[in-house]
Amino acid sequence: MRPLLTGSVAAIRALRWRSPIRPQTLSDWDPMSRVFIKKATYDPSIIRPMVTEMLDSMGPGWITSGMRVLVKPNLLQPADPDKGIVTHPLICQTVVQYLLDKGAQVQVSDSPGMGSFRKVLADTGYKAALEGLNVTLTPFERSVEVDIGEPFGRIPIAQEAMEADRVINLAKLKTHAQMYLTLGIKNMFGCIVGLRKPEWHMRAGVDRLMFARLLVQIYQAVAPAFTIVDGVLALEGQGPGRSGKPRQLGLLVGGANGHAVDKTICTLLGLDPSQLLTASLARQMGFYDGTVHVNGDIQIVDDFLFPELNSLSMGPESFNRFMRKYLLQKPVVDEKKCKLCGECWKICPAKVITHNVKGVHFDYDRCIRCYCCLEVCPYGAISAKEPLLGRIRRGLIRP
């Protein structure tokens, strides 16, 4: 069992990556900085050798017989894999089979944003893909308190994630209306159990920088041994839920260091990695020195559609209120698409969504702009609309 991480920031910093030594050959490279980029389709004969090469790069003995391994895909909601919202089941199946072949005890878990775990497994194709394999499929339910460092202190993280001998992080390449992209680092936020997720969204509030810090510190605490990001079918536009648009990128990216993986994906998408707050914070906090050694080809996707984002909210509450009201995007509902299913008001951490027979209503004065409602709406009925002043401001400050 891995020891529970109970120390402070200083203890977490002990996990920082080794300084790279200029390599002579690929095998000399620090495995923590190596990132694989593969061109892939969802074809088992293509995915299997790629996944095997990536995982074998960790060397013999990193998975041994009897080891307890937790596989954590992105299972945000019950959605067909062709929507680009969840990690494709073929990738999870391939990783699970690899681990079983090594004699590991394998568990696949997540804490979906909406829908029962059983429904998520059925609708995403995981149930069928993992049928017959000796794997435990269970949602995260129990938490342990883990000190992830200041300013958050002790927070509840899924017990299985902290107690597994190894965690394999299977993320999805998606846009995110609050964080720009959700990749390897953000996927570990799913280790916060159930309704505690929106609670933490609320505590981190409208301050994206604070939320990014929370994501980085959770990633460091869980410390997955390997991260694979499924960008074969990615999601662009107003992700990470049904308001986003699936986009065939044919990319499978993996490495032992989730920060290096995320940074590489930014480069592939033509985005300066400093714009991904989790990536820039990880460097500032000393968790990652920025080194990447790429195994594969970098071909820039120059027309990837990123979501509209607003400035960070900082300073006194009166200023935040002004930002929220006049500058930040607000959730709006398309009444023609809304089926009054209730997912949005159930998840809203600020409890500011009311409803009647005519539709859904938001109390914008109290809405913290966490965009959880966008994320979970199964009908893509909620989108983010920027107030006029926000649009004018961006027009003024952008070239």
Smallest distance from ligand SF4 to CB 30, Å:
40
**Inter-residue contact 205 to 239 (CB < 8 Å):** no
Q: Which stretch binds ligand SF4 (CB under 6 A): 81-89, 134-142, 282-290, 370-378?
A: 370-378
The CB-of-338 to ligand SF4 minimum distance in angstroms stands at: 3
Measured from the CB atom, the residue of 187 and 383 that comes closer to ligand SF4 is: 383
Distance of alpha carbon 392 from alpha carbon 100, whole angstroms: 56
Residue 262 Cβ vs ligand SF4, minimum distance, rounded to whole Å: 24
Judged by CB under 6 A, the residue of 106, 234, 282, 333 near ligand SF4 is 333
Rounded Cα–Cα distance for residues 300 and 268 (Å): 5
Pick the binder of ligand SF4 from 340, 387, 391, 394 (CB under 6 A).
340
Residue 220 tokens, joined: 């460091």
**Position among 42, 62, 322, 379 found at the interface with ligand SF4 (CB under 6 A):** 379
CA separation for the pair 200, 342 (Å, rounded): 21
- Residue selected from 92, 208, 372, 383 as contacting ligand SF4 according to rule CB under 6 A: 372
**Within 10 Å of residue 120's Cβ, how many Cβ atoms?**
22
Q: Which stretch binds ligand SF4 (CB under 6 A): 19-27, 65-73, 288-296, 341-349?
A: 341-349
Minimum CB–partner distance for residue 198 and ligand SF4 (Å): 7
With both helix axes pointing from N to C terminus, report the angle between 196-204 and 208-222 in degrees, rounded to the nearest 10. Answer: 130
Q: Is 191 in the site for ligand SF4 (CB under 6 A)?
A: no
Choose one: 19-27, 229-237, 258-266, 346-354; the region binding ligand SF4 (CB under 6 A). Answer: 346-354
Between residues 107 and 383, which has the closer beta carbon with respect to ligand SF4? 383
- Contact call for residue 211 and ligand SF4 (CB under 6 A): no
CB 295 within 8 A of CB 34: yes
Q: Rule CB under 6 A: is residue 200 a binding residue for ligand SF4?
A: no
Contact segment (CB under 6 A) with ligand SF4 among 100-108, 302-310, 315-323, 348-356 equals 348-356
Contacting range for ligand SF4; rule: CB under 6 A; set: 81-89, 154-162, 287-295, 339-347: 339-347
The CB-of-202 to ligand SF4 minimum distance in angstroms stands at: 7
Smallest distance, Å, CB 322 to ligand SF4? 17
Cα separation, 355 vs 222, in Å, equals 38
Rounded to 5 degrees, φ, ψ at 332 are -130, 150
Between residues 44 and 342, which has the closer beta carbon with respect to ligand SF4?
Answer: 342
Instruction: Give the separation between CA 373 and CA 352, rounded to whole angstroms.
Output: 11
CA-closest candidate to residue 183, choices 278, 303, 280: 278
Beta-strand runs (E) in 177-309: 180-182, 226-237, 244-255, 293-295
Cis amide bond preceding 156, omega within 30: no
163: helix, strand or coil: helix
Phi first, then psi: give them for residue 205, nearest 5 degrees.
Answer: 60, -150
- Separation between Cα atoms, residue 195 and residue 208, nearest integer Å: 20
The CB-of-216 to ligand SF4 minimum distance in angstroms stands at: 22
206 binds ligand SF4 (CB under 6 A): no
The candidate with the shortest Cα–Cα distance to 141, out of 153, 156, 154, 130, is 156
SS (H, E, C) 143-166: EEEEECCCCCCEEEEEHHHHHCCE
Under the criterion CB under 6 A, does residue 312 sit at the interface with ligand SF4? Answer: no
CB of 390 to ligand SF4, least distance (A): 15
The residues in 43-62 that bind ligand SF4, with binding defined as CB under 6 A, are none
Number of residues this chain uses to bind ligand SF4 (CB under 6 A) = 26
Contact flag: residue 327 with ligand SF4 (CB under 6 A): no
Q: What is the distance between the alpha carbons of residues 268 and 252, in angstroms, rounded to a whole number?
A: 11
- Binder of ligand SF4 out of 51, 85, 90, 348 (CB under 6 A): 348
Q: What are phi and psi of 71, to 5 degrees?
A: -105, 125
Q: Which is nearer to ligand SF4, 280 or 320 (CB)?
A: 320
247 neighbors 173 (Cβ within 8 angstroms): no
**Cβ atoms of residues 58 and 256 within 8 Å:** yes
| Chain positions contacting ligand SF4, by CB under 6 A | 331, 333, 338-344, 348, 350, 352-353, 360, 362, 367-373, 377, 379, 381-382
